[in-house]
Amino acid sequence: MTIPIALVGVGKIARDQHLPTIAASPHFHLAGVVSRHADDLDVPAAATIAALKEQVPDLAAVSLCTPPMGRAALIGEALHLGLHVMVEKPPAATISEAERFAGMARAAGQGLYLTWHSRAASGVEPLRQWLSGKAIRRIAIEWMEDVRVWHPGQEWIWEPGIGVFDPGINALSILTHLLASPAEVREAVLRYPADRAAPIAATLALASDAAAEIAVDFSFDQRGPQTWTIAVETDAGHAMLRDGGGRLFVDDAEVAVPEGTEYGRLYARFAEVVAQGAIDADLAPFRLVADAHLIGRRETVAPFRWND
């Protein structure tokens, strides 16, 4: 028997990733949506989680695909109704808000999963295993994509604290999963369009007991081919993740990685969370983003235009 789940928010990420993944999932079936923009879906729809629960009494879980602002209220509503909760990244608008979620779930006795989808890319776990026992000398991250392609016309992406860190936090989620010790931000330069409240590019210098030098370059204005790479130099060879972690190269030779999709693995993990009533709520990537804003030097660049 599959778990009845509802999507809260049916925007681009829900349609591109969550809906097809749930449709193919052996663990879940879509029992409804909380959205005003899902008339094309053949499931119950409501304006609130509580209203949907009335329509679908056996609803057991929700997956939040809304923008990060206001997540505490949605999570609180779902937990109060006895639902397990899965959350799209980033988990909230602020660290203080996100830090409440685990305690809320624990008090309610429900499962909570704050997801980092790039950690579930096919090459990430094989690279983590390859790094075991090796001394990391340097890590170089280049994570560059075009906001016009991935968030067309979505003005919420330019809310303070988001911008280029919407994709950039994906790279940081992989980094914090690979490292055996926590990372910290030593320097940061954040480049803000003159007419926007969030950066369109960032350069970071990080360090960790597990890697003395970590260089990070983010852009949200990449034209043409998109770049998502993490290169690692060790005392026993080098490796690179490409295509957002989907492909792994060791000493310049591509190696086989497990089949499957990022979101397929996320929903498989959420099924475990539901079965165990577990809490999986790592905030390490989010803390690095917050630290980058705290110590980052601001530079102003040309205004942003959607149609440039």
Considering its fold, how many domains does the chain have in total? 2
Distance CA 157, CA 128 (A): 31
Asked if residue 263 belongs to a domain, the reply is no
CA 74 from centroid of its chain's CA atoms: 18
- Give me the domain span that covers residue 143: 122-258+290-301
Mean pLDDT of 156-173: 96
| 132 within domain boundaries | yes
102-159 pLDDT, tens digit each? 999 999 999 999 999 999 999 999 999 999 999 999 999 999 999 999 999 999 999 9
pLDDT at 37 > cutoff 90:
no
Q: What is the pLDDT of residues 252-305, one digit of tens each?
A: 999 999 999 999 999 999 999 999 999 999 999 999 999 999 999 999 999 999
**Which residue do the tokens 């690692």 mark?**
232
CATH number, domain containing residue 70: 3.40.50.720
Task: Say how far apart CA 285 and CA 10 lie, in whole Å.
Answer: 25
The reply to whether 85 and 134 lie within a common domain is no
pLDDT over 90 at 212, yes or no? no
Q: How confident is the model at residue 179 (pLDDT cuts 50, 70, 90)?
A: very high
- Residue 20 makes CB contacts below 8 A (sequence gap 6+) with none
Residues 107, 221 within the same domain: no
CA distances from 205 to 172, 187, 214, 298 (A): 12, 5, 6, 15
Q: Is the pLDDT of residue 36 over 90?
A: no
* Position 264 in a domain: no
Q: Which of 28-53 are b and which e, b meaning 16 or more Cβ less than 10 Å from the residue's Cβ?
A: bebbbbbbeebeebeebbbeebeebb
What average pLDDT does the segment 29-44 reach? 92
Answer yes or no: are the C-beta atoms of 11 and 64 closer than 8 Å. Answer: no
For the chain, give the number of residues. Answer: 308
Determine the pLDDT at residue 38. Answer: 83
What's 84-148 look like in SS3?
A: EEEECCCCCCCHHHHHHHHHHHHHHCCCEEECCHHHHCCCHHHHHHHHCCCCEEEEEEEEECEHH
pLDDT tens track for 231-256: 999 999 999 999 999 999 999 999 99
Q: At what angle do helices 95-108 and 284-295 cross, to 10 degrees?
A: 160
Cα 282 to Cα 274: distance, rounded to the nearest angstrom: 17
Catalytic annotation, residues: 89
Q: What are phi and psi of 13, to 5 degrees?
A: -65, -35
Does pLDDT of 196 surpass 90? Answer: yes
When the pLDDT of each residue in the chain is averaged and rounded to a whole number, the result is 97
What whole-number percentage of the chain has pLDDT above 70?
100
Q: Which residues pair with 207 in a beta bridge?
A: 184
Based on the fold, state whether residues 89 and 130 are members of the same structural domain: no
Instruction: Quote the CA–CA distance of 87 and 196 in Å, as a whole number.
Output: 26
pLDDT band at 39 (very low <50, low <70, confident <90, very high): confident
CATH number of the domain to which 159 belongs: 3.30.360.10
Contact yes or no for 4/60 (Cβ under 8 A): yes
Percent of the chain with pLDDT strictly greater than 90? 97
